[in-house]
Structure 1
Amino acid sequence: MNLAAWGLPVAALAIGALAAGMTLGREAAVGLVHQGREACASARPLETIEAVRALPVRHN
């Protein structure tokens, strides 16, 4: 399952699922961890409001 295709941040999905008492199977949990690691690896610091405003915005 590609969580990014839903357009939702992985962390938000994980927190929402845990808060709702949802459990994941092994394969889904491994995929969630993998996508979280990819997101962290590609993250970059945003130190100014101008940097935030310069980010691309997706409208689905």
Structure 2
Amino acid sequence: MAKSTSPRKSSPGADAPASAKRSRPDAATATLVQRLARARTANEITNVIGLRPIKGRSGPKIAY
């Protein structure tokens, strides 16, 4: 069966219940995700999460 080139067949109703269970994230989670997406440095990320800033001899460490 590993060498078969035809795609596997699935029942048409098998995918519907899994996607119906997903709900939209709440507003707080969506806001947190947006703030994390805008963060460019490690210190901005830690600020969004609520941790202490990262310090080093050469100043704040850059993540991205």
Q: Which TM bucket (shorter chain)?
A: under 0.3
- Normalized per residue, the structure richer in helix is 1
Determine which structure has more spread, i.e. the larger CA radius of gyration. Answer: 2
TM-score of the superposed pair, with normalisation by structure 2:
0.27
Q: TM-score, normalised by structure 1?
A: 0.28
